[in-house]
Amino acid sequence: MIEKILKLKQERNAVILAHNYERPEIQDIADFVGDSLALSIKASQTDADVILFCGVDFMAESAAILSPDKTVLIPDTDAKCPMAAMITEQELIEMKQMHPDACVVCYVNTSAAVKAESDICCTSANAVEVVESLDCDEIIFVPDKNLALYAARFTEKKIIPWDGYCPTHHQILPYDIMDAKERHPDAEVLIHPECRPEVIDLADGVYSTGGMVMYARDSRSNEFIIATESGMLHRLERDVPSKRFYAVSDYTICPAMKMITLSEVVRSLENLEYVVTVPDDVQKKAKHALDRMIEVKRGS
């Protein structure tokens, strides 16, 4: 199957993207592995005609938003992010009506339609920077309440969180951190900001998935407890092979991130399915929110 994927990729002039949480064999056949938005930006800069995104629905939508002239595929249409599904375009419109003076910061883990109703997007790595960049005293932050509460620690602005969350990160409890620390007393604890506030309090460092790779590579520590989706361990072990990484528990698995298989990648490239499209009016407004975030990063 791997040989077939390589052949089809060349025939289709395709680039394969895989999120850090995907199955190990999917990460290994990808051209680029990383955070969702970074992957979409990277793909937009290639001369590929086809982008095959091994991730969940909103990630493929982001790729389609940033590369409207490329064909974007997702191998499994059932791979949907449960947190992104926790807010709809209409719900955000109603929330904006309740807080007319507030700006809207939208985590990239949302649908294109929700992005289109937002002032600016953010990632888990730049949420604080994005919030601080806005000329507003009140910020509606959707959909992740845990990331919203994390950002609120570092700003004087009033953060109004939507009651959404990542089920995989939200189920990590303080007990899990303490238990893992007891088993690995010399390990540093790296925690994703989608985790609960009481879990964040136990971190040695709070990082996005990309941030975890950079920190582990540069740290003097040789062991790390990783409080995020378990697929991240494969990326860390591949990129930083000299160090040891431990999952915080046995249940930090996102079912949606494990849906895509090698056989689905073969079928997707063979049949050019399933094509991800975003309506023009939504694409333009959603791209504005993404571009505005990218400009914040460039100006920092």
Residues present in the chain in total: 300
The number of distinct structural domains making up the chain is 3
Q: Could you tell me if 47 and 104 lie in one domain?
A: no
Q: Cα(55)–Cα(264) distance, rounded to whole angstroms?
A: 12
User: Where on the phi/psi map is residue 13: left (φ > 0), alpha (ψ -120 to 50), or beta?
Assistant: left
Q: Could you tell me if 157 and 173 lie in one domain?
A: no
Tens digit of pLDDT for each residue in 238-251? 999 999 999 999 89
* Structure tokens, 19: 């999120």
Total-model pTM? 0.95
What count of other Cβ atoms lies within 10 Å of the Cβ of residue 153? 12
Residue-number span of the structural domain to which 56 is assigned: 2-80+257-278
Would you say 245 and 233 are in contact if contact means Cβ atoms under 8 Å apart?
Answer: yes
Question: Is 283 inside any structural domain?
Answer: no
Tens digit of pLDDT for each residue in 88-143? 999 999 999 999 999 999 999 999 999 999 999 999 999 999 999 999 999 999 99
Question: Is 143 inside any structural domain?
Answer: yes
Question: Is 294 inside any structural domain?
Answer: no
Question: Is 293 inside any structural domain?
Answer: no
Q: Could you tell me if 132 and 196 lie in one domain?
A: no
Report the CATH number that the domain containing residue 59 is assigned in CATH: 3.40.50.10800
Q: Could you tell me if 185 and 135 lie in one domain?
A: no
Question: Is 22 inside any structural domain?
Answer: yes
SS3 251: coil
